[in-house]
Amino acid sequence: MKKNDEFELEITGMTAEGNGVGHKDTMAVFVSNTAVGDTVLAHAIKVKKNYAVAKAMSIISPSPDRTESDCPVFNRCGGCVYRHITYDAELKIKQQKVADAFRRIGSLDVTLREIVGSDRTDYYRNKAQLPAGIENGKAKLGFYSFHSHNIIDCTACRLQPQKFSEIAEAMRNFIDENSISVYDEKTDSGLIRHLYIRASKNCEEISVCIVINGNSLPCADKLWQLVEPLGATGLSININKENTNVVLGEKTKTLFGKAEITDTLLGTQFEISPLSFYQVNRDQTEKLYSIVAEYARLTPDTVLLDMYCGVGTIGLTMAKRVKKLIGVEIVAPAIKNAKRNAELNSITNARFICADAAQAAHQLKSEGIKPNVIILDPPRKGCDEELIKTVAEMSPERVVYVSCDPATLARDCAVFNTLGYTIEEADGTNLITPVDMFPRTAHVETVVSLVQRKPDDIST
């Protein structure tokens, strides 16, 4: 096979990123926007020693899973990868993605529980981060295309509430009408970098934050007059002068209203600042946290340690069922929110520590604190091996691990296995539940219950 060859190809598998896979003369060929069961006319665009990348020129025979995409920028935007297949097919792919990670990366023979699907596959996000750019002298807001920083102009994303689209349109008009410069990462110049929106349930509160390469936003009062009638309850600026891919800087200024939003999860109120982590799919988050609580096996005597606690969402939904809650988070505004959230809910048995997870674990160990249950909800990169060792040395009865990346989850579970913690089993299945927090994208969340093996079993 060589570049520009065209050939018929049957799609027999799917990658973790959502690309179809077929085989031509024993060589794996990756084709985007295809589905298992498709037969396509493929055009080779890159040929390496062991694999090739191709473009589907036409669908010769469609898969039973195939459906019409309902998004005009689906083939260009870097967000969704599954708008061309049914949701049932997507869930099966994600279930298999998690199972494959445990087998191939963790070398763990496990049986997963069925993935928890979302009741809504559209308009479920409560957060948007839209980069700004210029095209033909006009402002554009949208999303980066696959593996690039080329901005696809799109304010009406089907994953986001209609209110977000209206605010984005208002922002785009505001930039043009007031001749405000837009950031250019190549020259590190220009003012407007991102439009960042966050909302509570049903958009009852909407925080609008403008990420800028400067200290102030010109004509901010005009922007407030545009977005307040659209439901905005606050307008703020986030200052990011660094030449970086990181969206948010460390400093946020409130210009009008309030920067925070207040939301409710499982009957618990939460105040969330722009810099604080908060799950983007509220309804699925309630399902996720219910599974975490089920796996935690809480009792009135439980000392619960919630690592990577953010604004305290996981731990505080369980605080009234345990003896003591300790939350750990490195982001200072999030810890401030967590303490405030404990007060909002009249929770008096919670302590929050602002520190790196590994440092906090060592601190608690030195204080002689022995949690019965530890919840880990790390970023995509997973846990450092040193942290896993420290957690194991604290000797909790169980660890409930929440992950947004099956690969790092499987890797970390394998490390826990060497340290005396095995994945719990009940009713013929392991306590591993994938949860689809991000319908139509390649991402999947997973909850795992790890239990301490008896000393006699650790060597087996």
Question: Would you tell me how many other CB atoms lie within 10 Å of the CB of residue 271?
Answer: 19
Question: Would you tell me how many other CB atoms lie within 10 Å of the CB of residue 187?
Answer: 8
Q: Which residues are catalytic?
A: 404
| Strands of 247-323, DSSP E | 251-257, 261-265, 268-272, 303-307
Query: Residues 6 or more apart from 447 whose CB is under 8 A from it?
Result: 288, 291, 292, 295, 400, 401, 402, 403, 431, 432, 433, 435
Tell me the C-alpha distance between 375 and 357, whole Å. Answer: 12
SS3 content of the chain, % helix, strand, coil (to 5): 25, 35, 40
Q: Which residue has the tokens 């601190």?
A: 363
DSSP H helices, 228-300, are 282-296
CB 358 within 8 A of CB 366: no
CA distances from 124 to 230, 247, 344 (A): 18, 22, 26
CB 92 within 8 A of CB 81: no
